[in-house]
Each structure stands twice: as structure tokens, then as C-alpha cells.
Amino acid sequence: MRRVVVTGLGALTPIGNNIKGYLEGLQNGTSGANIITHFDASKFKTRFACEVKNFTPEDFIDKREVRRLDNFAIYAIVTADEAIANAGIDPEKEDCDRVGVIISSGIGGMETLEREVEEYALGNGIPRFNPFLIPKMICDIAPGLVSIKYGFRGINYAIVSACASSTHAIMAAFDYIRWGRNDVMIAGGSEAAVTSVGIGGFSSMKALSTRNDDILTASRPFDLDRDGFVLGEGAGCLVLEELEHAKKRGATIYAEVAGAGATADAYHITAPHPQGLGAANVMKIALKDAGMTPEGIDYINVHGTSTQLGDISEVKAIQKVFGDAAYHLNVSSTKSMTGHLLGAAGVAEAIAGILAINHNFIPPTINHFTDDPELDSRLNLTFNQPQERKVKAILSNTFGFGGHNASVIVKKFED
């Protein structure tokens, strides 16, 4: 099958509004958590989140168009623009029938739906709805908008698999290129669920941290006192390209996509399998797909949400798959910095891995204070400080409600 490389990167995160800012945030161990500003959260059990900061949509998109878009679609367009520009893709020079877009979202336009329902209820049930309600809300509008803007007429859709969505998007884009169906794919994910319903819904599940008195350190993957995840928002996009196509146009190659896998836990709607069965299986499949052994991986960017059950089961899965090799690699959760970007988490974390390859460092798991005795102390979970390391290959895990598991392996490009 054809080889697939990464030639473009775009990011909009709570710790950096572009690739340069995101890299700096990862290198500095920045916490993206703060008091919620999108709505009045003073009566909620959780009053903080990892929001995108200092971002004005009108700086990137025409003001009239902004009114017709939910934030999740705006975030997707902005990161796709950055990735496409970063890759130097010129639609005038491409066969646009062979350029596709897969941008995922776990939830889509929640804020839009929430606002419209509120206005309907306050209007005494009079059915007056914004004509853009449906196109603003649906998850697949994000890839549709990017394809319309650039004239990309290849494969185009959204994948919805909760927090695994954008890793599944990368996997699908990877497959379409190596199978020969497209030459270039824009792949990523976007989420803007820091709304009253988003916070309220996750809070009612007792999934969120309630550490309102210590916001900056609330996201504590692997810490004994972790009490839930911190909701985040943002987006990320990759330009994936067939190797010879990239070389022919002289593109900068950041990394090569080596393999990917997808499985199901078949266990519970929200809880992970206690022994990490689905997580172990998906990593095994990704390694086999890449033709690699556990010893070939230098860094795992884990799902690591800062929940009691999830963190333990993922570590068990890593130890089951990697054996003794688990003690020679770095593991970290960048959600400790960005919060949980839900459907955008996978691509944001894959980008963190690609940046690790290109800058020879391991992003840290910040906010670690107390060791959890259930975790093997011999594992290098990269606590609190980034570590210098020559990184040749990374594995990125994402697991979603419903038992959806996805892993992708990216490695340093060697011709």
C-alpha cells in the first residue's frame, strides 16, 4: 500500500491558538484551565474549564459568516486553514477530485441547539427558529464548509465516536490515501461544548473535577487525588498526503503515519473495561498495522483523562501490550494541560506527538502531587516537567463513551 505522510498542521487549543503557540504551551507545561467565561457558571458544581482564549472569530472569518456558524465549525475552519497553509496546498494546482476532508466532532453545535431551545421555551412555545439552526448544529457541516471553501471534491464526511472521533478521522484518511482513493486528506476534529448543557450534563454524571478552589491543577491524570476530567474546547487538523505526491511538490514532511487501529470494549456505556481489554486490543492492532514491535515506540500520549477508572485501566493495557518495553518509553497525558477536548482530543494529541518527534521532547503530565499505589512506579509517566528525548515513533490513544477505542502510530519520516 502507498505510504502516507503528514505535511500540514493546524491547532487551536486552550494553551495555544496555533501550532507555534500550542508547541510553546506543551514545552512550558501550561495549564489551560480557568473560570468559565462563555456563560454564568456560578451555580454549577464545576465552574471552570479549559476554554480557547484571546480568540476573535472575525479575525479569521467574515463577520456575516460568523453569525451563521457554531463555534465548533469556526474552530474547524481556522485550524484547517492553518494546516492547509502550513502544507502549502494550492487548490489551483491540485486535482481537487482527489483531495478529501474528514473533520469529526463528538457533539457538534451544542451551543446553537441550546440557545434555540431556550428561545423557543421563552417565547411561549411559538415555533420561531433560526433558519441556520440545522446546518449550524450538525457535525458534518465542518468538513462540508472546508470542502466548499477550497473546492475539495474528494471524500467528505464526519465521524462521530465520542472522544475517539478525530483519531478515527485520522485513521480513515490514512486508509483512503494508502488504498489509492485520494492523494490528499484534511483530517481532524473540533469541539465547542463548554456550554451550560455541556458542563451540566457531564457534571451530573460525576465525570468532571469539582476542584473549584484549585482550578489550575484540577486536571490530574494518574494522581492519587484525581477527581474527574476538565472539559476543554478547540480543534486540530492534519494534512495527510501520499508520499510521492508530497515529494513531487517539494512539501515539508513532518512525520509518517505508520499504522492505526480501532476496537470496541463491548462493556459499558461510559466506564472502560476494568482490565483495559479494548484498549490493549487496539494498541496491538495498531502495532501490527504499522509492522512494529513495542520496542519501536518511544512515547505514548495516553487518553489519560484524570478519572479514577480510566487512568488505571489504560496503564494496565499498556503493561499488558508492552511488557518490559513499557519501562523504557515515556508516557504522558497532555489533557493535564489542555483539558479534555472530546471529539478534538485525538487530533490535538496526535499533533503533540508529531511535535515531540520534530522537537525531541516529551510533553509532561502536569499537576502530579501524590503517587497512586495502584500504578507501577517504574513507569515513566513524565510528571510535571517536559523531558528531552530523541523521539522516533509515538502512539496516541483515544477512548470514547460507548466503548469506542482508536489508536494511531506516527513515526519520524525516513525516505
- What CA–CA distance (Å, rounded) separates 402 from 310? 13
Show the cell assigned to 3. Answer: 505510504
Catalytic residues: 163, 303, 340
- What CA–CA distance (Å, rounded) separates 222 from 153? 44
- What CA–CA distance (Å, rounded) separates 304 from 204? 21
Cα dihedral sign, 97-103-107-112 = negative
CB atoms inside a 10 Å sphere around CB 378? 9
Instruction: Sketch out the chain's domains with CATH numbers.
Output: 4-248 (3.40.47.10), 261-411 (3.40.47.10)
- What CA–CA distance (Å, rounded) separates 189 from 236? 6
* Number of residues that make up the chain: 415
CB atoms inside a 10 Å sphere around CB 83? 28
- What CA–CA distance (Å, rounded) separates 301 from 67? 36
Tens digits of pLDDT across the chain (415 residues): 899 999 999 999 999 999 999 999 999 999 999 999 999 999 999 999 999 999 999 999 999 999 999 999 999 999 999 999 999 999 999 999 999 999 999 999 999 999 999 999 998 778 989 999 999 999 999 999 999 999 999 999 999 999 999 999 999 999 999 999 999 999 999 999 999 999 999 999 999 999 999 999 999 999 999 999 999 999 999 999 999 999 999 999 999 999 999 999 999 999 999 889 999 999 999 999 999 999 999 999 999 999 999 999 999 999 999 999 999 999 999 999 999 999 999 999 999 999 999 999 999 999 999 999 999 999 999 999 999 999 999 999 999 999 999 999 999 999 8
- What CA–CA distance (Å, rounded) separates 62 from 68? 10
**Torsion angle, CA of 157/99/13/40, rounded to 10 degrees?**
-40
Strands (E), 25-131: 34-35, 48-49, 99-104
Q: What pTM was estimated for this model as a whole?
A: 0.97
